[in-house]
Structure 1
């Protein structure tokens, strides 16, 4: 009897496994059928003689990245990080639109209609490609042949849903669970108002037509950017895009009923107005309180009056006169920004954010005079230094001073338990001051061994460049010079004698 029981058990497993296999096979067959029908409908629309009047847009949606919440355990947060890393380079979204390329100058040929596909990836650069209408195919997106800079995706089914919008209705493809394709007819025919131009306006979080841009002199009465302010508008729009992403990633809006932001050295307040407007519109029901601080009293009164004239949406925004050191807040911060705070004013801003337990710190430093001073003396004293032939050129001294200063700041922010990124946030054609340092407060502090490794790397960096003193390190009470009576290490377990670290 025991042998018979084992035989029946094995038979049950085989039958069950075979049934599961059949179920999976049926699901894949349904998916493929739905994809083929969807593809056929799109091709019929693009092949038709009135395609430009009928077609509005195409959207393909890939796998969504998971999000962290404050209530998650550390294990679940680690799984979220792992999943995000696994999604790197995989398709997040594809947006298709029709464009018209004008013929080259001197040619009488009519404008050529093309389908432009913008492929957005997880943590990778967007890809834009133009296709002839009759040669466009969706197969490349469903079979992973459109590679990102990280290579081909290994997902068996990268596209989870899709839709084709036309003036008559919308085709909706759903490949999650039970695959389906349905057509939803518009209750009334919509007009195809898309701009058939290669230079279509980009989607931005803040429209140039918003009133505060006009009040601040960035746009004219019709909401069009003034010629001399186009770069400032682009910089502002890119800034709010970055901060919006950081706020989403930080999870500070998951349970909080308010958001407190401070802009240190706000100047005319372009970024202060923009960030307040974005947060107020995006997070309805959350009390957004924003403060701009600058040392110029006349300017602060002027922009504060503008805020008062903009209505109730800006009741939470106000500007005050003061310095970073004298700024007094009776609450912790959610977001601290300090863009283009000169030289060590950036260090003061970073430290203020740490003291006020800011969840997000965003800075764009400018001027790096303190470190430049040490570099000059260091090279003059040590002509055999590995950097000697680099640092004898003033242009390289300036660039290395900037690079080293911001690298020191990044290490110190990591020591203060922030996740840090340093990157170019806008092209050099808009502003030469285009490096941004962002820090998002970690929910779990780094271990002491991790911090010791960071301290050793900080000291090695400073020793290589002859830096004896740095404002942010002083404020954080972090020594940047090795004890000459001891040996030091760059990483735990790898000890070496005092001396010039190798490049």
Structure 2
């Protein structure tokens, strides 16, 4: 067993033996701007042990919680893919340092223990919120808070979702190119919970002049949201009626949002974001029917066909393949992509948020991406991906 594998075996053993205290990741050499370190510790949330990750940026921290197995895979990705070159495991009996050397190999060394195990792991500390609930007319009109700014008991989950959404985007929003006015489109705005919150955060917290259009097909919701925008004195927030595929932005975009747009409507939104030069694309995909139909139709034989004969596994695989190819296509057009958990599994299985931040890409990388897309489609028996066709790279 090599040093890298040994290190991860030690992580698993320390967790199983209740000796695990924390992990720190450093010596970052990746592409994520302003990211410096990641700190991981165990927490108990709703009586279930999880791994809490604190991503430390130059100006702020972002916290995410993972199931134990998923968390260990996230650590692997941060070291092998994302660019961290040092990890220190702190246990009750020792410190274990795993480091990527100049020779391109992982070294490992033991040190005397320096960390103390906390008495309790309960995650009961009140998180700092990016948005304040006090004196927010839109929160009152949406029946999330009372006049005093107290969040209603039955609105707690929605309030957490809103803040988690803003927390995920906060560091990226601060890195957007400086412009006189940010042009933002939220496609499939629904009742506008997240649309209002984003406008509020951009205008009142970040002090960015913002023109935001919410696109929604249901007439009653469009009328309601426009009434609330007027009552809230959100002068540059407008909701219009229309379908995602039919909407045509009047100018280039800075931010494109599409949350829970069904099936290929997510592809329509991504395509519009890319074609109109959006610096930031944020989508929460839903109902991955197109790729699932392709996979079910072909019934291609591969190493995973024993799984795909089960409907629920087929559904999950179709979701991952659909969104994986979407991320690759965004990377082909120069976007750096990240995938986050958007809503806790207990509330909805549709909980993936795909975020693309516009950077750059060279021809060689584009060729590699096209080859990866082609091989992935062949492996799963997929003849086409809708976003490919929209972007003319099928």
Give the alignment's TM-score, normalised by structure 1.
Answer: 0.56
The 8 Å contact of residues 418 and 441 in structure 1, kept in 2 or not, is answered as yes
Q: Which residue is equivalent to 2:339? A: 422
The 8 Å contact of residues 38 and 53 in structure 2, kept in 1 or not, is answered as no
Aligned match of 1:386 in 303, 321, 328? 303
Aligned match of 1:294 in 195, 203, 216? 216
- What is the Cα deviation at residue 322 of structure 1? 1.1
Aligned match of 1:202 in 113, 118, 127? 127
1:270 to 1:198, Cα distance in 2 relative to 1, 3 A: closer
Q: Is it true that 1:88 corresponds to 2:37 in the alignment?
A: yes
Structure 2 counterpart SS, 1:246? helix
Cα distance in 1 for residues equivalent to 2:157 and 2:338:
23
Unaligned ranges ≥5, structure 1: 1-64, 67-78, 92-117, 129-143, 155-196, 480-503
The 8 Å contact of residues 212 and 237 in structure 2, kept in 1 or not, is answered as yes
Q: Which residue is equivalent to 1:259? A: 182
Q: Is it true that 1:237 corresponds to 2:163 in the alignment?
A: yes
The 8 Å contact of residues 88 and 96 in structure 2, kept in 1 or not, is answered as no
Q: How does 1:11-410 map to 2 (within 5 A)?
A: 81=31, 87-89=36-38, 122=56, 199-209=124-134, 210-249=136-175, 251-252=176-177, 255-284=178-207, 286-311=208-233, 314-379=234-299, 382=300, 384-410=301-327
Q: Which deviations, in whole Å up to 9, do the C-alpha atoms of 1:214-244 show, x marking residues without a partner? A: 1111223332333332222111111111222
- What is the Cα deviation at residue 152 of structure 1? 6.1
- What is the Cα deviation at residue 331 of structure 1? 1.9
- What is the Cα deviation at residue 422 of structure 1? 1.6
Give the alignment's TM-score, normalised by structure 2.
Answer: 0.70
Identify which range, 199-208 or 315-324, moves more after superposition. Answer: 199-208
The 8 Å contact of residues 185 and 213 in structure 2, kept in 1 or not, is answered as yes
Q: Is it true that 1:467 corresponds to 2:382 in the alignment?
A: yes
Q: Which deviations, in whole Å up to 9, do the C-alpha atoms of 1:419-459 show, x marking residues without a partner? A: 011221332123322101000011xx311111001000001
Cα distance in 2 for residues equivalent to 1:316 and 1:435:
29
Q: Which deviations, in whole Å up to 9, do the C-alpha atoms of 1:17-73 show, x marking residues without a partner? A: xxxxxxxxxxxxxxxxxxxxxxxxxxxxxxxxxxxxxxxxxxxxxxxx99xxxxxxx
1:202 to 1:398, Cα distance in 2 relative to 1, 3 A: same
Structure 1 counterpart SS, 2:283? strand
Cα distance in 2 for residues equivalent to 1:239 and 1:83:
19
Cα distance in 1 for residues equivalent to 2:328 and 2:280:
16
Cα distance in 1 for residues equivalent to 2:266 and 2:172:
20
Cα distance in 2 for residues equivalent to 1:205 and 1:82:
21
Cα distance in 1 for residues equivalent to 2:131 and 2:160:
10
Cα distance in 2 for residues equivalent to 1:356 and 1:83:
23
Structure 2 counterpart SS, 1:325? coil
Structure 2 counterpart SS, 1:88? strand
1:292 to 1:84, Cα distance in 2 relative to 1, 3 A: closer
Q: Which deviations, in whole Å up to 9, do the C-alpha atoms of 1:316-341 show, x marking residues without a partner? A: 11111112233233221111110000
Cα distance in 1 for residues equivalent to 2:331 and 2:53:
33
Cα distance in 2 for residues equivalent to 1:291 and 1:464:
40
Number of equivalent positions:
309
Structure 2 counterpart SS, 1:453? helix
1:450 to 1:297, Cα distance in 2 relative to 1, 3 A: same
Cα distance in 2 for residues equivalent to 1:122 and 1:274:
24
Cα distance in 2 for residues equivalent to 1:206 and 1:346:
27
Note the aligned Cα RMSD (angstroms): 3.4
Cα distance in 2 for residues equivalent to 1:120 and 1:395:
32
1:228 to 1:440, Cα distance in 2 relative to 1, 3 A: same
More strand by share: 2
The 8 Å contact of residues 231 and 431 in structure 1, kept in 2 or not, is answered as no
